[in-house]
């Protein structure tokens, strides 16, 4: 069983699985297609990814276009600040962002539907993140937006993040053009 909490962004939801814990540890279903279908979330994912990063690393803001990906993100080691940005011009929340701390401790997940850019920064010494994608990665569709774009104004909990070359040279939000889901 899951608890799904809406965010201010249409379709972006926080997913909290039921966790059964005792002095031996815990058990949880991180994904159950029946529960996801009942909540109106995707029940079929095409690819699973895992990343490991150190404190201060910021990855994003990434998206695929025109073959959009929805993502279900969770952290299995450490803690991150996870962000979704609405980049679909036809959306009433176009240009708005939502951020949440995901951690191995809180076991929360964030579902980011197609039409959003995604990024995160690492708050702990090390963090490992797993995310399910609704479509396979396609290198030709790989795109991004600057993490510190002044038009979006994300309140990142890091001021001088460690970036990849690709993320450091990502275009500004105003340069991405008209994207539709």
Would residue 63 show up in a list of annotated catalytic residues for this protein?
no
Question: Dihedral sign, CA of 80, 75, 147, 114?
Answer: negative
Active-site position among 62, 111, 116, 118: 62
Question: Which candidate, 73, 97, 110, 91, places its Cα nearest to that of 146?
Answer: 97
Active-site position among 63, 111, 116, 131: 131
Would residue 62 show up in a list of annotated catalytic residues for this protein?
yes
> Rounded to the nearest 5°, which phi and psi values hold at 78?
80, -150
Residues 175, 51: Cα–Cα separation, whole Å: 28
**DSSP assigned state of 162:** B
**DSSP assigned state of 44:** -
Give the other-Cβ count within 10 Å of 34's Cβ: 10
Strands 2-6 and 142-144: unpaired
Provide the annotated active-site residues: 62, 131
């Amino acid at each position: 069983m899951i608890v799904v909490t809406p965010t201010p962004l249409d379709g972006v939801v926080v997913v909290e699985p039921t966790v059964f814990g005792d002095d031996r540890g815990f058990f949880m279903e991180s994904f159950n297609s029946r529960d996801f279908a009942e909540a109106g979330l995707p029940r079929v994912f095409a690819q699973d990814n895992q990343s490991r990063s150190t404190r201060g690393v910021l990855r994003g803001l990434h998206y695929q276009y025109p073959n959009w990906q929805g993502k279900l993100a969770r952290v299995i080691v450490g803690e991150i600040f996870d962000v979704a940005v609405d980049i679909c011009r036809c959306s009433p929340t176009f240009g708005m962002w939502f951020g949440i701390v995901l951690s191995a401790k809180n076991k929360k997940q964030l579902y980011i539907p197609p039409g959003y850019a995604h990024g995160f920064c690492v708050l702990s010494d090390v963090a490992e993140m797993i995310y399910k994608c609704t479509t396979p990665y396609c290198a030709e569709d790989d795109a991004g937006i600057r993490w510190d774009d002044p038009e979006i104004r994300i309140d990142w909990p890091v001021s001088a993040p460690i970036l990849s070359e690709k993320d450091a040279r990502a275009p500004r939000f105003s340069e991405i053009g008209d994207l539709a889901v």
